[in-house]
Structure 1
Amino acid sequence: MRITLPTGTPAEIARPDGDVTPTRGLVMMSDIHGLRPLFDEHAQRVADAEGWVVVVPEMWPGREQLNVTKRLASVNELRDDDKLADLLAAAAATDCETVGVMGFCMGGMYAMKASSSGRFDAAVSFYGMIRMPRAWRAPHQADAIDSVTAPGACPVLALCGTNDKWLPHAELDELAEVACVVRYPGADHAFAQDPDGAHYRAEDAADAWARALTFLRSRGKSTEVIA
């Protein structure tokens, strides 16, 4: 079901099917393509399987018509403060005390940036950018690793492919010093969220999703996902 957050940003909210009392909340941030039926389906699937309330805010509120080329060219116009406000508003919309955050690509980057907000108990990044790519740098955007290393940051799990040009190996090594990093040999960017995507890998995607949900379920305390 579509809702509008207090920030003015559209979002999808999914609740467990049937007469189920939610056990926790999850904020799910989409990839660069934004909120769409694919993420409506992801949200409802997780809500039903886990008994959680899942909220997915729109990545490009008011600019949903932009094509991917224009989105890539204008990422430096996005502001960390605005995205964090959306993530916190989405957490409140779950109406749950305990909330995790998950994101894909740019959404994974913002999930890591939210790890130091004090609102989330665990964060999962599917191939989120660890340091801002040069073309995206702007004074109002920090590097995600600065949040992951901040005092009081929640546990972070990063799920990444070894062939991902957006994630230099040196940056992955840096992140691995302060977070749980799982690397999938031969996987490229966006291997897990869209079965119709060019780089989708079904086996790796299933493994990554299982690890992500276990990590969130355990509030980042499970060692089983770090195999």
Structure 2
Amino acid sequence: MGERDERADELSRREFLEQTALGVSTLAVNVVQASTKLRGQMVEYPSGEIKIPAYLSLPQRSPAPAVLVIHEVFGLNDHIKSVADRVAQEGYVALAPNLFVRASEPPPRDASNVEAIRRAATSLAPDVAARDMQAGLDFLKMRKFARPRFGSVGFCMGGGLSYRLAASGYPELACAVIFYGRTPLELVEKVTCPLLGIFGELDRSIPPQAVREFEEALRRAGKRAEIKIYPGAKHGFFNDTRSEVYDAQAAADAWQRTLRFFREHLGA
């Protein structure tokens, strides 16, 4: 086990003892095996009557600002965990919750099964998911390695949830990134932090015209927002495990744009 893993292991054990009296506990440390190339660990946090499993990845230095990483309709898989690791490598605490723990429908295994994707996406009530995400940020506020200045980034379904989090009124949320998520215009007035919206020109579920309408609504409402539509990019273009939609050039630029946005609003 490397120095980084030993540090995370010791930190997790110490904070378990400190937080048990408050009713917040981590799971037994299960550092992912090196063969997966993942560097974080699974934890859990309370939200209402249940506990939410989540993947936690820590930066080299702490305390640090934190980013909530919100999964696609495919759930908390290794791709999303690897995104959390990338966020942590940039100097942020990264927490990726498994929001499907409440859902009646499991995440789909087949990206081509449109009906399974639709059923899974609609099985998550947005207001409940917003509370579970806020509970994740509350969890981080009680951790010594996290500073209470937060951002969020979500993909596909998670992009829409990142937007809803930005409209939920959470006071310490300093910024939110939306990767090709649905953005209902009725929520625009409720947005309380700067937004970065990233979309694909060839996204048939969120066409450029809808993105431009969203951008215009944000402008009229006086909200701080940056919107980018990538030419030739499809829905899901950031996911490098899906060769049918992955666009390496657009993904690389979108990642750098996201990091600049986090540096501007979170520091680190």
User: TM tier, shorter chain?
Assistant: 0.7 to 0.9
Residue 11 (1) aligns with residue 54 (2)? yes
Aligned residue for 1:170, secondary structure, equals helix
Residue 93 of structure 1 deviates from its aligned partner by: 2.7
Q: Could you list the runs of 5+ residues in structure 1 that have no partner in the other structure?
A: 131-142, 222-227
**Which residue identity is paired with 1:127?**
Y
2:125 and 2:176 map into 1 onto residues whose CA distance is: 20
1:189 and 1:158 map into 2 onto residues whose CA distance is: 13
Please list the CA deviations of residues 139-183 of structure 1 after superposition, one character each: whole Å capped at 9, or x if unmatched.
Answer: xxxx3x333332x52111110011001112331111112132101
Aligned residues with identical type, % of pairs: 30
TM-score under structure 1 normalisation? 0.82
Residue pair 1:9, 1:61 contacting (<8 A) in 2 also: yes
Aligned residue for 1:98, secondary structure, equals strand
**Which residue identity is paired with 1:43?**
A
**Which residue identity is paired with 2:186?**
D
Question: Kindly tell me: are residues 3 and 85 of structure 1, through their superposed partners in 2, closer, same or farther at Cα, counting changes over 3 Å?
Answer: same
2:188 maps to what in 1? 148
Residue pair 1:156, 1:180 contacting (<8 A) in 2 also: yes
1:80 maps to what in 2? 126
1:42 maps to what in 2? 83
Give the RMSD, CA atoms, in angstroms: 2.1
Runs of 4+ aligned residues of structure 1 deviating over 6 Å after TM superposition are none
Residue pair 1:104, 1:127 contacting (<8 A) in 2 also: yes
Residue 195 of structure 1 deviates from its aligned partner by: 4.1
Q: Could you list the runs of 5+ residues in structure 2 that have no partner in the other structure?
A: 1-40, 142-146, 219-224
Where is the helix percentage greater, Structure 1 or Structure 2? 2
2:18 maps to what in 1? none
Residue pair 1:32, 1:59 contacting (<8 A) in 2 also: no
Aligned residue for 1:94, secondary structure, equals helix
Aligned residue for 2:265, secondary structure, equals coil
Aligned residue for 1:97, secondary structure, equals strand
Structure number with bigger Rg: 2
Aligned residue for 2:232, secondary structure, equals coil
Residue pair 2:121, 2:157 contacting (<8 A) in 1 also: no
1:55 maps to what in 2? 95
Q: Specify which structure has the bigger relative contact order, considering alpha-carbon pairs within 8 angstroms and separated by 6 or more residues.
A: 1
Mapping of 1:32-181 within 5 angstroms?
Answer: 32-49=73-90, 51-61=91-101, 65-68=106-109, 69=113, 70-95=116-141, 96-119=147-170, 120-130=173-183, 143=184, 145-150=185-190, 153-177=192-216, 178=218, 179-181=225-227
Residue pair 2:196, 2:226 contacting (<8 A) in 1 also: yes
2:251 maps to what in 1? 205
Question: Kindly tell me: are residues 116 and 161 of structure 1, through their superposed partners in 2, closer, same or farther at Cα, counting changes over 3 Å?
Answer: same
Please list the CA deviations of residues 38-68 of structure 1 after superposition, one character each: whole Å capped at 9, or x if unmatched.
Answer: 121111121122x111100113115585435
Aligned residue for 1:100, secondary structure, equals strand
Residue pair 1:55, 1:93 contacting (<8 A) in 2 also: no
Question: Kindly tell me: are residues 74 and 193 of structure 1, through their superposed partners in 2, closer, same or farther at Cα, counting changes over 3 Å?
Answer: closer
Aligned residue for 1:5, secondary structure, equals strand
Residue pair 2:54, 2:95 contacting (<8 A) in 1 also: yes
1:201 and 1:23 map into 2 onto residues whose CA distance is: 31
1:10 and 1:34 map into 2 onto residues whose CA distance is: 12
1:71 and 1:196 map into 2 onto residues whose CA distance is: 15
TM-score under structure 2 normalisation? 0.70
1:183 and 1:48 map into 2 onto residues whose CA distance is: 26
Aligned residue for 1:122, secondary structure, equals strand
Residue 82 of structure 1 deviates from its aligned partner by: 1.2
Deviates more, 1:163-172 or 1:199-208: 163-172
Aligned residues: 204
